[in-house]
Amino acid sequence: AALLPRPARGLTDRLYCGRRVCYEVLGVSRQASKAEIARAYRQLARQYHPDRYRGEPAGGEGGGKQAAHEKFLLIAAAYETLKDEETRKDYDYMLDHPEEYYRHYYHYYSRRLAPKVDVTIVILVMVCAISVFQFFSWWSSYNEAINYLASVPKYRIQATEIARQQGLLNKTKEKGKNRRSKEEIREEEEEIIKDIIKNKIDIKGGYQKPKIYDILLFQILLAPFYWCKYIVWYCWWIYCFTIKGQEYGVEEKLYIIRRYMKMSQSQFDSLEDHQKETFLERQLWIRENYEVYKREQEEELKKKMAMDPRWKRYRRWMKNEGPGRLTFIDD
């Protein structure tokens, strides 16, 4: 036990000015102001700076330029310690409580290794960058969906018919200088068809039209509002359906079914309307009915996989030549 404090004391030798007192290094008292500390540092720095040192100063400790260089480093360390109010406060506490070795060690290196840039600014920049990438990525997916729908004959014919009824494709041909090429006319008609598809078709799920408040930045800013809204809704749910025992409405039934299926709101919205009607007809908001439906779906999936030729080939390959199989070849 007597040997344990020795290495702990060795920690403080590498902190601040080591075994020297920073105030004594600069030749000031502990009550010195920042101006006095700065003035003392400038005087000593001019005296011991390697570029300005010319021979051994009066009253020096000997050693020439090497000693002056070490002295200058010690002076700089003392000034760095005392010029900052927080660092000076930690150093004064170490002088008054030298026995708290590990506390001094922690405070010293936590300040030296702390990031110079405000972490809040870094996080804000990262969130903004992610939000911008997220928004443009959604727009790209949405445009891909529109381009695909414009190439499907079913939707393209309907959009073309609507455009003709609205008189968008029946414009008279320009003459003279305003006359356009066939390529320009074709591009304009393509844009008209895509605009009609955008307005007439309700795209849900991952390819839906992006909304500004769905990106990460706005989600973080609106998080308190969403939390308050959820708490109010949850209290209303408990009061209406647990305490008063009211019957579930259509929205409440679909919400319970979605929770049982572990689907997000966007995933559930992408389902067809007839599928949701089937859920309601089978009363899947009741746990027992949902468990029966889940088992039926699993059995149906197994049958489809058993009848699928690709799945049969895969099972046959796994049985005969699957990975990890070792065999001996008879000569």
Domain boundaries, the chain: 22-113, 119-170+182-210, 247-319
Q: Which of 226, 214, 204, 206 is nearest to 130 (CA)?
A: 214
Residue 56 has a pLDDT of 55
Please identify every stretch of the chain with a pLDDT value under 70, giving residue numbers as ranges.
1-13, 53-64, 114-117, 170-180, 201-207, 314-315, 317-331
Task: Take residue 85 and report the two structure tokens written for it.
Answer: 């109010």
- Does the model's pTM come out above 0.85? no
Residue 3 has a pLDDT of 43
Residue 329 has a pLDDT of 47
Residue 55 has a pLDDT of 60
Per residue in 44-55, pLDDT (tens digit) is: 888 887 777 666
Long-range pairs, 163-168, Cβ under 8 A, ≥24: 163/189, 163/192, 163/193, 163/196, 168/192
Residue 326 has a pLDDT of 45
- Would you say 59 and 67 are in contact if contact means Cβ atoms under 8 Å apart? no
Q: HSE-up of 215 (CA within 13 Å, CB side)?
A: 19
Q: Which of 86, 93, 80, 89 is nearest to 38 (CA)?
A: 80
Question: Going by C-beta distance under 8 Å and a sequence separation of 6 or more, which residues neighbour residue 135?
Answer: 210, 212, 215
Question: 233-255 in b/e burial notation, b at 16+ Cβ within 10 A?
Answer: eeeeeeeeeeeeeeeeeeeebbb
| Cα torsion angle, 49, 50, 51, 57, sign | positive
Residue 319 has a pLDDT of 66
Report the topology of domain 22-113.
Helix Hairpins (1.10.287)
- Would you say 268 and 261 are in contact if contact means Cβ atoms under 8 Å apart? yes
Radius of gyration of the chain (CA): 38
Residue 330 has a pLDDT of 52
Helical pair 273-281 and 250-261, crossing angle rounded to 10 deg: 100
User: How many whole angstroms separate alpha carbon 234 and alpha carbon 321?
Assistant: 55
